[in-house]
Structure 1
Amino acid sequence: MLAKGNAAVGEQDFAKAAGFYRQAAEIQPDSLSAHIGLGYARLQLGELPLAIDALKVAVSLDPEHGDGLYMLGKAYAELQRGDEAERTWGKGISVTAQPEEIFLDFCLLLFNSGKIERAQTVIEQGIFKHPQNADLHFFLGNVLAEKGLYSESIPAYEQALSLGLGSPHLLSNLGNSLRQVGHIDRSLEMAKRAVELAPDVPQFLSNYLLSTQYSPNVSRVEKFEAHLEFSRRFEAPLKQHWRAHENDFDKSRRLRVGYVSGDFRNHSLAYFIEPILRSHDRSGFEIHCYYTYPVQDEVSERIRRLSDRWVPCSTLSDDELADRIRSDAIDILIDLSGHTGHNRLLAFARRPAPIQMTWLGYQATTGLSAIDFRITEESLDPTGSSEAFHSEKLLRLPSSGTFSPAPNSPDVGGQPALEGYPFTFGCLNNPSKIADPVIEAWAEILRTAPASRLMVGHASLALREALLAKFDAHGIGESRIVFQPKVCLRDYLSLHHQIDLALDTFPYNGGTTTFHSVWMGVPVLAVQGDTALSNVGASVMRGLGLDAFCASTVDEYVAKAIRFSGEADALSSVRTSLRQRVEVLTNNLARDVTLALEQGLRQCWADYCDGPSVALPQHRLAGP
C-alpha cells in the first residue's frame, strides 16, 4: 500500500494516495511512513484537521522527525492556530535542521505576528545551518528592514543575490532599503529591474514610483507619466467591472467616511490622523478605519477607539476588501498611503465607494482615475502649478494637515551656541531624503561658516561612511560632522537640545521631523520647491509666522544658513517662544482642519447627489 500511495503522489492524485496510506496505517499502525504519507496527502487536499490527526501520530512515533514536525506546524498555521504552529516549529528547529523550509515558514509566522526579534533569531539559526540558502538571507533582509535596520538589511539582500536568488521581490525590497539610506540611483535601478522582471505585480511598480519621489533627477513630467502607467496596467482592466452604487443620495444625512491605511500604528502618520479622528463631528460623520497592516500596537488601539468601526483587513484580497467597503455602504473613501507600503490602491481601483480621495501619506498623485480628489492646500500645491501633474482633482483646504505632539516630550533646551558649543546645524530627517544637491549645499554652508558643525540623525555605520565620502569630496572633513544613531522617540527629541538650527532636505522635505523640531524649539530652514513634497517645510514655517526661515532658492538657503550661524541670540529668542507658537497653532488646527475637511466632504457629497455622472468640479474652500 505504501508503494501505491507513493505512486499516486507521483501522479499528483492525492485523494487516491490518501486512501492507500490510510489502508497502510490500518494494516500497520506503527508505520511512520504511512502516517507521514497520509498527513502529506491530507495537507495537499486541504483536509487540515485530518492532516493534523495523521501527523500527530507520526511525531508521536518519532518526536524528532523533521518533515513530520514541519508539516504539522504548517497545518496548524493554515488553520490560523498560530500558537500551536509556533510550538511545533520551535520544537522542530531545536531537534533537526531539516527541512530547510521550516526556518522560512517559522520566520514568516513570527514576522506576521509582530514577533520580529524572535523571527530574526529563527532565520539567523537557519542561516547558520544552511548558509547557502539564498531565501534565508532574503528573509533576514526583510526582518532587518522591518526593524528599520536598512543599512544592515542591504548586505543580507546582496548575499541572497550572490547565491543566485534574482527574484523581483528581492530586487524590489533591496531597492526599498537602498532608498532608505539615501542611495537613490541604485534604489531606482533595483526597483526598475523588479518591474521589468514582473511587470504585472503592482507592488513593484508602487515601490518604483515611491523611489522616484526622492530623486532630483526624475522630472515632474516623468514622474507623472510613470504614475499614469500604473493606472494603465492595473486600473484599466478593472473599469469594465465598475458598478453603480446604491448609497442613499440624501445630501443632509450622516455620511459614512472610510479611511484606509497600513499606518494606524506606531508610525508618523498617527501624529497627523489622530487629531482629525478625535475632532470629527460624529453626529454628521460615521468613521470607519480599514487597517491593512497585520500587527496592531498601542497606537492601533487608540485609533480603534477613535473610530466608529475598526476593520482589520490585511488578510483580505483587493476584491474582498472592495466588497467589504461596498457592503459597509461607505460614501467617501480616503486613502492615506498612496504608493507607500501596505497600500490598497487596487481596492480603490475597483471603485467600491461613490467618492474616493487620497490624503497625507503620499504628497503626489496616485495616477488612478478611480480616485476623484487629492486633499491638499494652496501652500503645498499653488493654483496653476500642480493640476497638470495629477489624475485627481485637487481639493484645497485652508490647511490640509495637523499634528499631535508626542506626549511626555522633553522640555525645550537652551541655545547650544550660547552655552559654549560650536554652532550646530542639524538634520534628523530620514536619510533617504539627503540627496546629492543637499550635501553640496550643506558643504558650502560648512565651508563658509568654519566654526560650525552638522549633526545627522538615523546614522548607521554604512550611512556614516557614505556621507563622509561625499562630504570629503567637497572638502569637508570628518570632524565637522556629528552622526547620531537611530534612538527611541524621547532620546530623538532630546537631540534637539544640541541643535541650533535645523536644515531641511530638498526636493523631499521633512514632515514629521519638521513638526518635532519646531515643537522642541528648533526652527527649520527650508527651500520652497515646485511640488507638495518640496513645499512642506516652508508651509510649516510660514504657518508659524516664521517666513524668515523660508528660502526660494538653494543659494538663498545657503546664505540664510550662514547668516543665522552668526545670530545665536536671535535664534534663542525664537527658541524660547516656538513651543508656545506650536501649541497655539496645533490647539486650533485640529479643529479648523477637521471642520474644513468635513465641509469639503459634505460639498463633494452634495455635488455627487446632484449628478453622479457629472464631472466633479475643482474645489477651493474658504477658511472656517
Structure 2
Amino acid sequence: MPDRSSDARRLHAAADFAAAETAYLDALASHPQDTELQHDYAVLLMQTRREEQAITWFERTLAVRASIDSSLALLLCLRATGRIAQARVIAATLVERVPGHAMAWLLKGSLDVIAGAHAAAEPALRRCVQLDPRLGEAWHYLGEALQALQRWQEAIQAYRVSMHYQPAEIFNIALCSERAGLWHEALEGYRRMLRMYPDRANVMVRLAQAEAMCCLFEEEAGTMTRLHQRLTSSSFALAADDHPEAFPLAYLPLANTLRADLLRRHAASIAQRASNHASRRAARRSCSAALRRLRIGYLSADFGEHPVGELIQGVFAAHDRAIVEVYGYSLRSHEGDISRRIRDGMDHFRNLESMPSTGIADLIRHDAPNVLIDLGGYTQGARPEVLALRPAPIQLGWLGFIHGHQAPWLDGLLLDEWMQPASAPWPYEDRVLHLSTTVFPGCPQSPGRMDRKRFGLPKDVPLLASFNTSYKLDEELMRAWVSILQQTPSAWLLICVPEYARVGFLHNWRRFGGPEHLLFGDKLPRAEQADRAASCDLFLDAFRYQVGATAVSSLAAGLPILTRTGDTPLSRSGTSLNCYLGMHELVCADTASYVAKAIQLATKPGALSALRLRLDRALARTDLFNPRRSAADVEAICQRLTRTP
C-alpha cells in the first residue's frame, strides 16, 4: 500500500478536509504508531469541530511522546467541550514545563476564568501578555478576570487593548464603565455596539438599563420598542450567544411572555456553563430532623453594606438553635458593623470570594445543608451557576431578585401573599412559596429625628419625598408627581437620584411642566438618612420598581409610604409593607387614585400628622423590625419541605 501521509498533509493544507481525512486514515492503517500522523489527524478533527474525537487522538499521541503542540491542542479541545476541570490540571502542569510559552499561560488563565477562579487567572494572563502582548485573546480574558474582581478601570484598560483585535469589546468596556458609575461612557459604548450589531437583544437591554439610570425616558422607550419589534418579528431569531442580562428584565417595560422567554434563555445559558465546569454529583439527602438540627445555608455576595445585608443582618442570629444550624456562604468579602453582625449570627461562615464555582458547590455539598437559600438571584456578584450545580437537595430563592427566575435549579421562591397574590397571573415556571408575613425582614432601627434646617429643607410646608434611585423612575410616575405638585402649590418634592441622572430628570420634569418646588438630595449614611426621612411628610413610591430596604428604614423613621400596586412582584413591594402594617389606605389601585390620595394628604390640614400617628400605632402592634419574624417564617417553610413523608 503506498504511503498516503504526504497526500494527507497536502490535502489538509489545501483545506480539502474530506479527502485529507481519507488519506490520513489510510496512512494510519499502515503506520498506526506514527505520533506525528496522529497529531496531524487530530488537528484536522479539531478544525472540523469534532473536538471529542480529536481529544482521543491527542491523548493517544501524548501517551507515547511529550509534545507541546499536542498538549496545547488538547487543552483547546478540552476547553471547547467544557471539560474544564481536567483541562486545568493539564494546564497547570504545562506551564511548569514550559514557563516561557505564552500560549500555555493563555490557556491556563482562560481556563481559570471559565472555572470562576479569577484571582488565579490574573497572574497567568499577565504573564502571557508579558511574553506576547499581541495575543488579543489573553487581553480579553484578563479583562474578564479583572471585571469579575470588580477592578473596573483595569478591566477597561485590558479590554481596550483587546479591542484592537475584536471591536466588539466595546460592549465589555461599556459594561465596566456602567459598573464604575461612568454612565455616559456606558451609554456611548452600548450605542456604538448596537450600531455594529443592530439585532443584539443583550445590547438593547443593557442600553435601555443605562438610559433608565440616566432618566432618559424617551430614549429608553425607543430602545424597548426596538427590542419588542425584534423579538416579535417572525423573521428574527436571537443569535446562539445572545443572552440578555436578567436583572433589567425584571422592571423594564416588556410583555410578560417575552420576559419569561428571555429569562428562560438566560437560565439555560447558566445551566450550560455549570455543566461545563464539572459533572453534577447528587447532593446528600439529610437525615431526619429527629436525629439532628435542620441545616439551613445562605448564599450571598451581599453580607455587608448592601440593601440585602441591611435587611437580613439580624435573621441569622434569630434562628431557633434548638432546631436550626445556620451556614453562611459569602461570595464577596465585606467589612463593617453589618458584616460582623451577620458573621456573628451564623454557626458556620465561609468566605468564598476567591473560590471557583465548582469548589463552592463541592464545599456546600460537603457541609450537606438540608436547604440552601440563595439571596442573590441574578444580581451583581451572584453566582447562580453554583445553584445550577445542585449542591443541596432543596434550593430556594429569597430577597435578592424578587421576580420570576425561570431557574430549574430552584425548588421555590419565597414571596408573600401581597407581593404575589395566589389569584394574580404568574407567567413563570418557578414555584412560589408564600411567607406568612411580608417578604422583607427587619431589625431594630433608630427612629430618626426631624431636623429640616440641618438638611436645608423648607419649613412649614408639606414635604413629599422619593428615595428611589433613578432606574426605578419612569415617565408615568414623573407625570403623576408633576400633577400632584401642580395641584398642591405649597408642597415641595425631595428627589434623591444620582448626579449623573439629574440632567435627564430635569429635562423631563420641565418637559411635563413640573413646578420649581423641587429639591435634589444626595445619598447619606444610614443614621443621617433616618433623620432626613423623619423630616419629610410622605414618601411617594415608584411604580415599576418599588422601594425595599429603604422602605423599611423610612417606616422606622415614621415616614408613611404611598404606593400604587402593579402587576409584578417588584411593583408590589410597597404594597406588601403597607398591607402587612394594615395601612391599606396607602395602597392605590391606579395612577389617578395615587395622585388624588397624595393631593388629599398634602392639602388637608392635619391629614399628614394623623397619618403619622396611624403609622406609629401600626408599627407598635406589629413585629416589622423583629428579625425573629422572618427567621420563624423561613424555618416553618424549610421544615415543611424537608419533612419525611
TM-score (norm. length: structure 1): 0.70
Q: Tell me the equivalent position of 2:179.
A: 146
Distance 1:367 1:212 in 2: 12
Q: Which runs of 5+ in 2 are unaligned?
A: 1-38, 47-57, 70-89
Q: 1:143 to 1:495 in 2, by over 3 A?
A: farther
- 1:269-284 alignment runs, 5 A limit: 269-284=308-323
- Aligned pair 1:424/2:463, yes or no? yes
Matched, 1:523 2:560: yes
**CA displacement at 1:331 relative to structure 2:** 1.1
The answer on whether the counterparts of 1:508 and 1:533 sit within 8 Å (CA) in structure 2 is: yes
How far did residue 399 of structure 1 move?
A: 3.8
Residue 256 of structure 1 is aligned with which of 295, 305, 321?
295
**Offset at residue 74 of structure 1 (A):** 7.3
Conserved? CA contact 1:112–1:295, under 8 Å: no
Q: Give 1:536 deviation, angstroms.
A: 1.8
SS at match of 2:314: helix
Could you say which residue in structure 1 is the equivalent of 2:533?
496
2-side partners of 1:593 and 1:387: how far apart? 24
Report the 3-state secondary structure (helix = DSSP H, G, I; strand = E; otherwise coil) of the residue aligned with 1:375. Answer: strand
Equivalent-residue separation in structure 2 for 1:130 and 1:348 (angstroms): 33
Shift of 1:530: 4.1
Partner of 1:464: 502
**C-alpha contact (below 8 Å) 1:357/1:371 kept by paired residues:** yes
The AA in structure 1 aligned to 2:342 is: I
Q: Which amino acid aligns with 2:585?
A: A
Match of residue 29 from structure 1: none
1:443 aligns with 2:482: yes
1:18 Cα deviation after fit: 7.0
Matched, 1:375 2:408: no
Cα distance in structure 2, aligned partners of 1:316 and 1:489: 32
Residue aligning to 1:335: 374
The structure-2 alpha-carbon separation of the partners of 1:49 and 1:547, relative to structure 1 and needing over 3 Å to count, comes to same
Please give the per-residue CA displacement for 1:330-388, whole angstroms capped at 9, x wherever unaligned.
21122223333344444434544332222112223322354332222223233333567
Give the Cα–Cα distance (whole angstroms) in 2 for the partners of residues 348 and 126 of structure 1: 29
Distance 1:353 1:165, change over 3 A: same
Write out aligned runs for 1:559-578 (5 A): 559-567=596-604, 569-572=606-609, 574-575=611-612
Match of 1:601 in 2: 638
**Paired residue type of 1:120:** Q
Aligned-pair CA distance for 1:581:
6.1
In structure 2, do the counterparts of structure 1 residues 213 and 123 end up closer, same or farther at CA, with 3 Å as the change threshold? Answer: closer
- Give CA deviations for 1:476-501 in whole Å, capped at 9, x if unaligned: 25x24333355555555554366332
Structure 2 residue matching 1:602: 3-state secondary structure? helix
Q: CA deviation at 1:512?
A: 1.6
CA distance in 1, matches of 2:175, 2:309: 23
Q: What's the TM-score, normalizing by structure 2?
A: 0.68
Looking at structure 1, the residues matched to 361 and 121 of structure 2 have their Cα atoms a distance apart, in angstroms, of 32
Structure 2: distance between partners of 1:358 and 1:428: 26
Please say if residues 433 and 508 of structure 1, whose CA atoms lie closer than 8 Å, have aligned partners that are also in contact: yes
The Cα of 1:44 is off from its aligned counterpart by 7.7
Task: Answer whether contact 2:119 2:354 (CA < 8 A) is retained.
Answer: no
Counterpart position of 1:177: 210
Alignment of 1:24-103 (within 5 A): 47-49=94-96, 54=100
Partner residue, 1:549: 586
- Alpha-carbon contact 1:257-1:331 (below 8 Å) kept: yes
Q: Distance in 1 between matches of 2:451 and 2:138?
A: 52
The one-letter amino acid of 2:469's match is N
Q: What is the aligned residue count?
A: 555
- Find the counterpart in structure 2 of residue 474 from structure 1: 512
Residue of structure 2 in register with 1:37 after alignment = none
- Residue 49 of structure 2 is matched in structure 1 by none
1: CA distance, partners of 2:118 / 2:575: 51
Aligned to 1:348: 387
Which residue in the other structure is 2:79 paired with?
Answer: none
CA distance 1:110–1:305, change in 2 (3 Å): farther
Percent of aligned positions that are identical: 21
Q: Distance in 2 between matches of 1:406 and 1:147?
A: 31
> What is the root-mean-square deviation of aligned Cα atoms in Å?
5.2
Q: Equivalent residues in 2 for 1:291-440 (5 A)?
A: 291=330, 293-298=331-336, 299-313=338-352, 321-385=360-424, 391-404=430-443, 411-413=449-451, 420=459, 422-440=461-479
**Cα deviation 1:449-480 (Å, max 9, x = unaligned):** 2333333212334x333333433343325x24
- C-alpha distance in structure 1 between counterparts of 2:397 and 2:119, whole Å: 35
Residues of 2 paired with 1:198 and 1:309: CA distance?
A: 43
Q: Distance in 1 between matches of 2:91 and 2:409?
A: 39
3-state SS of 1:47 partner: helix
Corresponding residue SS for 2:439: coil
Q: Distance in 2 between matches of 1:379 and 1:103?
A: 48
